[in-house]
Chains A and B, each alone.
Chain A
């Protein structure tokens, strides 16, 4: 299985292999938006197949989709590009469930996709802002592991006492 990519014959193609064996054929210019791949390409030079044992195919596909969009939009140096990217980023993160968001963030971090990490950490922050602690735990399926004494201290820290 490989992702379709429309390319001209002049651009170099890289083959990325995910942990579950799924491979993606992508233009070098797209894949090198990821710092980790950029480093590998620079270090290993001629190697066209890159194995990524820490990233599942599903999420690698999503990361590459994001890279492709941003690489395409950046090639046209038109002023509205930033707007297009912003709009597209908004769509990209809008309906992510917490499970996908988590794996995508881990993948983006592992691949050193700094801009994508920024986008995803902002999405996580937006799911936290204003919320109650219980709601945050519920959103991210986290169980409190504080000792009862610590819980009590936290409750105190989060209450407002008037003089």
Chain B
């Protein structure tokens, strides 16, 4: 047999299947199937490894199960308006996409050619219909800004999935302010949430939530994320634990005195590393808001897990990474993908949903209106907004 030219379109079906199995995201599988006939018919359309239910049981009685007595009344989570307590909660998935112009597409025009981020929720009614979602909260942006394109031909861009977030809504569509983690472990797909300091676990398909038994941190959990096939949760003192699918608990970082001062803790997986962001807030009485207290983030400290020593070690720099601290999910991106942006900063929102930039170099906080290069991260490039 002589060495002919490669005939990728004639690759045996089992090899095409093996390749497609490794693609993991819906975007990549859809694109794989759009290359040619044989690739299309060798591979089935993308299916999630687990089928996500759109509804899950409500957290309230009789669906929740408290395995021991003495859970103070104070820590029963907010269950939504009384008339909705018998209905299911809606589970929604949103995806943060990074769209980049393809290499070599440098045109003569001076239009922006770097990437942008887009957070989208797929519509329930019709396939392909999407909702734009606030990058750092689960809120839908509706109506779309005038300049925003109604249809984006995604084929123009390279598309990468940067993060997924899951949120629960009451049946009146109000968001429950529980932090939600989803484990896609095929043996035991499940949700874990933090509600009023308590961790709750629900195996998908089961009809009741179980409060996680852990006498050390039980009432003070602040965040939970899926991590390496398990759930990782942190309490207000920085104690960090992993739960496997049987809810067996493993402490991976113990209480740390430097972590007792912050007001709120977020876990973020960044470049494969587990990070903890400790937020320090100032509280002030807001006279315009009926005297309600508002919290304003003032300072952040970032820690990296040292697994051998079971402790969090403070990071002096995030290097090239821009970290997005969201209500529903946090993630990081590399600054060099976004023109004019520098890394080593945290983008977050206060209660007004405007973006702020915290610079780890000098500890300064500034509104994103003073740093349009960061605001542009979420704006479609001009080629799309030109009518």
Residues of A within 8 A of B (CB): 19-20, 53-56, 58-59, 98-99, 101-103, 105-106, 109, 117-118, 121-122, 124-125, 128-137, 140-146, 154-163
Contact = CB atoms under 8 A, between A and B. Distances in A.
A99 B6 CA distance: 5
B32 interface: yes
Given A53-B1, A143-B36, A163-B131, A122 B150 contact: no
B90 to A, nearest CB: 16
Interface stretch (B11-19, B196-204, B222-230): B11-19
A160 B151 contact: yes
Contacts of A135: 102, 158
Contacts of A140: 6, 8-9, 35
A137 B32 CA distance: 10
A160 B152 contact: yes
B160 A161 contact: no
Interface in B147-170: 148, 150-160
B28 A161 contact: no
A160 B22 contact: no
Interface residues of B, number: 48
Given A125-B19, A146-B37, A158-B155, A132 B150 contact: no
Given A56-B3, A129-B23, A117 B18 contact: yes
B5 interface: yes
B6 A98 contact: yes
Contacts of B6: 98-99, 101-103, 140-141
B1 A121 contact: no
Given A121-B15, A158-B153, 13 more contacts: A55-B1, A56-B2, A105-B11, A106-B11, A118-B18, A128-B19, A128-B23, A128-B28, A129-B160, A132-B102, A142-B9, A159-B152, A160-B154
* B31, B128, B158: residue with the most chain A Cβ atoms closer than 10 Å: B31
B144 interface: yes
24 contacts: A19-B1, A53-B1, A101-B6, A105-B11, A109-B14, A121-B15, A121-B18, A128-B28, A130-B28, A131-B31, A131-B102, A132-B156, A133-B31, A134-B155, A136-B31, A136-B32, A137-B36, A140-B6, A141-B8, A143-B36, A145-B36, A158-B31, A160-B151, A162-B129
Nearest to A139: B8
A17 B269 CA distance: 50
A68 to B, nearest CB: 22
B34 interface: yes
A155 B155 contact: yes
B24 to A, nearest CB: 8
B123 interface: yes
B132 interface: yes
Contacts, number: 138
Nearest to B40: A146
Contact of B128 (A54, A125, A161): A161
A144 B40 CA distance: 11
A133 B36 CA distance: 10
B12 A109 contact: yes
A157 B3 contact: no
9 nearest CB pairs, A to B: A102-B6, A125-B22, A140-B8, A19-B1, A121-B18, A160-B152, A154-B34, A159-B153, A130-B160
A162 B8 CA distance: 35
B130 interface: yes
Contacts of B157: 132
A140 B158 CA distance: 17
B109 interface: no
Contact of B151 (A54, A106, A117, A162): A162
Nearest to B132: A162
Contacts of B130: 160-163
B108 interface: no
Contacts of B12: 109
Contact of B34 (A55, A129, A158): A158
Nearest to A124: B19
B151 to A, nearest CB: 5
B158 A130 contact: yes
B120 interface: yes
A58 B154 contact: no
A102 B8 contact: yes
A51 to B, nearest CB: 12
Contacts of A20: 1-2
Nearest to B6: A102
Contacts of B37: 145-146
Contacts of A163: 123, 129-131
A106 B41 CA distance: 20
A141 to B, nearest CB: 7
